[in-house]
Amino acid sequence: MNLQTALLQGQTLLEKGGVPAPRLTAEVLLAHAIGCDRAWLYAHSDEELKELWWIHYGRYLHERLKGKPTQYMTGVQEFYGRDFRVTPDVLIPRPETEHLIEAALARRGRSILDIGTGSGAVGITLALEFKARVTATDISLPALQIAAANARALDASVQFVCCDLAGALRPEFDLIVSNPPYVPSATRASLQREVRDFEPELALYGGSDGMEVYRRLIPEAHTLLTPGGWLLLELGEAGPVRELLQDWRDVEVICDLAGIPRVIAAEKL
C-alpha cells in the first residue's frame, strides 16, 4: 500500500464515522505517524507505507473515530501564528480566543495578568507581542507545567503562579485578560463528544449557569487592577457578564465578523 492509498482509506473511514474535515484529518494523522509534514506526503505519495507507519496511523484513526481530538494525538495546536503544545490537561486553544489577543493589543499594557492560562496560549502570546511583564495563573499544576514548557519553547518571559484565579497576587496590573470556564454544566450532554469526553472539565464548566467563575473573577480583577486598567474577558453570554460590570466604565462587547459576541472589555474607574 502506498501513501496515497493509505490517505484515501483513512479519509473514507473518517467520513463514514462522521468526523469533520476527513481528508485534512487523515493527512495530519498520517504525517504524524510518519514524522513528516503534509507537504512531504504529497511529494512522496507513491512511497510504500512502512509497517510501523501503518501501526501508528491505524491507532490514530481508531482514536479519532472514538472522538479523541486530533490535537491531543499530535500534541500541537496553532494559535496566533505559533505552535503550542497541548495535552488532555489543557483546553485546546480556539481561533475565537484570538479576539482576546486583538482586544488586548488595542489597549496595551506594561504589567499583564492572564487568569486561568491553561496551555499558556494567551499569556505567552501577549508576552511576545507586547514585550511586557506577564504573569499567568492556573489552579491546575499539570496545566501550568504545559504552559511553562510552551514559554520555554517560544522563548517567552512569563511568571507562572499556581492559585485559584488570582488570589495570591498583589494589585499591580494595568491589563487583566482571561478566558474563564463558561460552559453551563447543565448543557454537558449537548456538547460535542470531542469536548465533553476529552477536554478538562475544570477548564470548561462555569457552574450550572456558566457564570460562577465570572462572579468571582470580576471583583478580584477590580482589586488587582491599577486605576484606569483594563479587564478583558472571553464570553459565553454577553448580557449576564455585562450586568456584573456595572461599576466599571467604557464597557464594550466585541463581536466577530459574524456578529457573535466574543470579548467584553471594561476599564476600572
Amino acid at 79: F
CA 138, 141, 144: angle at the middle one, nearest 5?
A: 60
H-run or E-run covering 196:
helix 193-196
Provide the pLDDT for residue 101: 97
Angle between helices 22-34 and 3-16 (to 10 degrees): 130
Nearest to 179 by CA among 223, 113, 245: 113
3-class secondary-structure state, position 150: helix
Q: Domain 76-267, what fold?
A: Rossmann fold (3.40.50)
Contact 86, 93 (CB under 8 A): yes
Residue ranges with strand state E in the chain: 76-79, 82-85, 111-115, 133-138, 158-162, 173-178, 225-234, 249-255, 261-267
Provide the pLDDT for residue 168: 85
Helices (H) and strands (E) in the chain — how many of each?
12, 9
Which grid coordinates belong to 217? 473573577
Provide the pLDDT for residue 215: 97
Output the tens digit of pLDDT for each of the chain's 269 residues. 999 999 999 999 999 999 999 999 999 999 999 999 999 998 999 999 999 999 999 999 999 999 999 999 999 999 999 999 999 999 999 999 999 999 999 998 889 999 999 999 999 999 999 988 999 999 999 999 999 999 999 999 999 999 999 988 988 899 999 999 999 999 999 999 999 999 999 999 999 999 999 999 999 999 999 999 999 999 999 999 999 999 999 999 999 999 999 999 999 98
Taking only the tens place, the pLDDT of each residue in 211-231 is 999 999 999 999 999 999 999
Provide the pLDDT for residue 15: 97
Residues 266 and 75: their CA atoms lie apart, in Å, by 35
What residues pair up with 2 in beta bridges, in sequence order? 48
Provide the pLDDT for residue 132: 87
Please tell me the pTM assigned to this model. Answer: 0.93
